Amino acid sequence: MKTLAYHLVNVFAETRFGGNPLAVFEDGRDLDDATLQAVAAQMNLSESVFLFPPHKADTDAHVRIFTPGYELPFAGHPTLGSAAIVRRLGRGGDQVHLSMAAGVFPVVAEGDCWQLSAKPPVAQPLMTNTHRLAGALGIAPNEVRAARLIDCGTEQLLVEVCCRDAVLNCRPDARLLDAYCRNRQGVAMAYVWHIEQGVATVRLFFTHHGQLVEDPGTGSACANLGGWLLLAGKHPLTLRVEQGHALKRPNVLHLQVSASGEIAVAGEVIWLGQGILQV
């Protein structure tokens, strides 16, 4: 039996019990893929991550990210939380380079606020019509402004809606989300957003075993929002991104898109504690 040490952090947190929880396991070596996935299912958080020794030159750690159901090539709050634990373990400092399936991501810190640099965006049109998309999200068709698949590390469906209330009033149907909101990898997911006076109100929905799940704070989708705005020529910009309202789990993300097109996502990481798991 193997003992796994892990840390629990809240990412994008402005208060101790806000943000998006994350389990960071110090050492994923000698565990097969099935065990890594089983541990993530046991933790039952949005994501759990496993740290490995560097796989590439000039990196501080290799990271594998798992939801309770599958592995991800990249995700935002696991990237920031992993960087914070790499520093806490003395394996890196305020500048950390993490390799993962989607590539190498630089992460920098000012105190406990961590910022990642995302990949340049790749966009794809969505083949679902507006009425089907609106039905999947539980809103009126005239509330949908535009929808695209964007990939700055993880491809996701982004849906711009007409107002903040349209974001907050979404009542997705898991069956229709599964049918009409899949990315090209087959993952059913929708990131609904509206920007008003420098603040983006957002929600992210996905399905797991046919059930609807809402994520409290999604850095990868925030990066993809930056990609959308970059491709639309709406940069440079700085946005406060608010998520988690309906879950009573406030998350605050900070999105920057520079004049030259670099996309950065930042947020506070609060360390809560640590433990061990026997597998």
138 in the same domain as 18: no
164 in the same domain as 83: no
239 in the same domain as 224: yes
94 in the same domain as 130: no
Query: What is the tens place of the pLDDT at every residue in 156-208?
Result: 999 999 999 999 999 999 999 999 999 999 999 999 999 999 999 999 999 98
Q: Which residues are catalytic?
A: 47
pLDDT band for 128, please (50, 70, 90 cuts). confident
Query: What is the tens place of the pLDDT at every residue in 132-147?
Result: 999 999 999 999 999 9
pLDDT band for 58, please (50, 70, 90 cuts). very high
> In the prediction, which pLDDT does 176 show?
98
148 in the same domain as 235: yes
Measured from the Cβ of residue 9, the count of other Cβ atoms closer than 10 Å reads: 26
Q: Domains in the chain: how many in total?
A: 2
250 in the same domain as 135: yes
135 in the same domain as 241: yes
22 in the same domain as 93: yes
- Rounded to the nearest angstrom, the gap between the alpha carbon of residue 117 and the centroid of all alpha carbons in its chain is 13
- The answer to whether the beta carbons of residues 88 and 124 sit under 8 Å apart is no
Residue 145 burial (CB < 10 Å; 0-12/13-18/19+)? middle
130 in the same domain as 57: no
250 in the same domain as 154: yes
We report the CATH number of the domain holding residue 249 as 3.10.310.10
What pTM, to 2 d.p., does this model score?
A: 0.93
Q: Domain residues for 211?
A: 122-260
42 in the same domain as 147: no
107 in the same domain as 14: yes
